[in-house]
Structure 1
Amino acid sequence: MDLFEQDDQFKGELGDIEPDANPEADDLSLEFADSGVSEQTEDGRAWYVVHCYSGYENKVRHNLEQRIETMGMKDKIFDVVVPTEEEIEVKEGKRRTVERRVFPGYILVNMILSEESWYVVRNTPGVTGFVGMGNNPTPLRPEEVAQIIKRMEAEAPRIKVTFKPGERVRIVDGPFNDFRGTVSEIDMERAKVRVMVNFFGRETPVELDFLQVEKA
């Protein structure tokens, strides 16, 4: 699955693969031999997506890290990550940088999958399941992991876009400061927005940076 075309697509794809439903099942003979062997390293490590309560990702990470420590699982579970990236938002004409979770409701766990390690992760408070088919977690592909890391390590913060075509916005910077207009086009690649502004009685298109406008 390609997780990175859009965050919404990522969540939609995960929605098609149910988290495992029964953490207390007596039969834990999971089919680990078929759990994406090609995505594992030579020692069996792989990254897995774990579903948790949205808004509690950092708490779940803390809970899991404690369990790894107290249950002696450092040789099976190596890293727990909440993917985040910096984002610039404009509110009331002021810019601020905030940390945004890339995939709300999900954490990433680097581990060697076994019945024991599965049980430790799955029964962590706040965890609702692995992403996979039934009790068979599906590891991320190496290119997916690389893309997540790239987003997390990006030097330039993303710009939060709170408007869409057809909506009214206010210009907060530049020669048209405090003018209001209607968004006609958004260019995500160039981080530009075209706004139709009434200028001397005529609708005039003005191209602006995302940070120069906010919702009216």
Structure 2
Amino acid sequence: MYDSFDKGWFVLQTYSGYENKVKENLLQRAHTYNMLENILRVEIPTQTVRVEKNGEVKEVEENRFPGYVLVEMVMTDEAWFVVRNTPNVTGFVGSHGNRSKPTPLLEEEIRHILVSMGQTVENFDIKVQVGDTVRIIDGAFSGYEGKVSEIDNHKVKMIISMFGNDTVAEVNLSQIAEL
């Protein structure tokens, strides 16, 4: 399928006022180009504000970040091409130009945004530290046990013994279980 390390939340720049149209176009293009496995979610962060107009107080949804759309995607060359060529998308935040791929948001940043929108976020009950031995329960290395050598933002590097040699395996935190 895909490497979990290529998956992340990215910020798209759009023309202000076109956020909903970009979301609609992007979801349509994901379907048309068979990219539904790579373009996973598209969100426009909103907030409810109270506005007084003609003596009446109303609650109105407004964009928290006008001109920006969040997209959860697997950053393949094909998905990147589809997203950046969507009408009214002017670019990615975190791209350094010269056709370089952008940097995803940090887990804490997207978690804060999604929670503030009232959405659920993935939570892990596993408490693993560097040096712990764990079992891989999902993915290409399923069934292997190894020692954790590095933990970075829900991603784990570990040393497993494969064919008599020590090999570094990179897995998502959701793909391991404590022994």
Partner of 1:147: 112
Residues 69-95 of structure 1, C-alpha deviation per residue, up to 9 Å, x if partnerless?
010001111011111111112234321
Matched, 1:75 2:37: yes
Instruction: Name stretches of at least 5 consecutive residues in structure 1 with no aligned partner.
Output: 1-40, 155-216
Q: Among 55, 68, 87, which residue is 2:17 paired with?
A: 55
The letter for the 2-side match of 1:136 is K
Q: Which amino acid aligns with 2:43?
A: V
Deviation sequence 1:4-46 (CA, Å, 0-9, x none): xxxxxxxxxxxxxxxxxxxxxxxxxxxxxxxxxxxxx835310
Q: Map 1:172-183 to 2 at 5 A.
A: none
Q: 2:28 aligns with which of 37, 44, 66?
A: 66
1:45: which partner in 2?
A: 7
Identity, in percent, stands at 47
Kept after mapping to 1: 8 A contact 2:6/2:76? no
SS at match of 2:82: helix
Is 1:114 aligned to 2:76, yes or no? yes
Aligned residue type for 1:65: L
Offset at residue 150 of structure 1 (A): 2.0
Bigger relative CO (Cα 8 Å, ≥ 6 apart): 1
Equivalent residues in 2 for 1:82-161 (5 A)? 82-132=44-94, 133-134=96-97, 135-153=100-118
- Counterpart amino acid of residue 34 in structure 2: G
Larger radius of gyration: 1
State the AA in 1 paired with 2:93. V
What SS does the aligned partner of 1:74 have? coil
Structure 2 residue runs of 5 or longer lacking an equivalent are 120-179
Equivalents in 1 of 2:74, 2:101: separation in Å? 13
- 1:52 maps to a residue whose letter is T
State the alpha-carbon separation in 1 of the partners of residues 40 and 117 from structure 2. Answer: 19
8 Å Cα contact 2:10/2:103 also seen in 1:
yes
User: How high is the TM-score relative to the length of structure 2?
Assistant: 0.60
**Which one-letter code corresponds to 2:77 in the other structure?**
E
Q: Which runs of 4+ in 1 moved over 4 A?
A: none
RMSD (CA atoms): 1.6
Q: In 2 relative to 1, CA 149–106 (structure 1 residues): closer, same or farther, beyond 3 Å?
A: same
SS at match of 1:136: coil
> After the TM superposition, which residues 186-201 of structure 1 pair with which residues of structure 2 at under 5 Å, given as runs?
none
State how many pairs are aligned: 114
Correspondence for 2:176: none
| CA 1:42–1:114: 2 relative to 1, 3 Å | closer
> Larger deviation: 96-105 or 129-138?
129-138
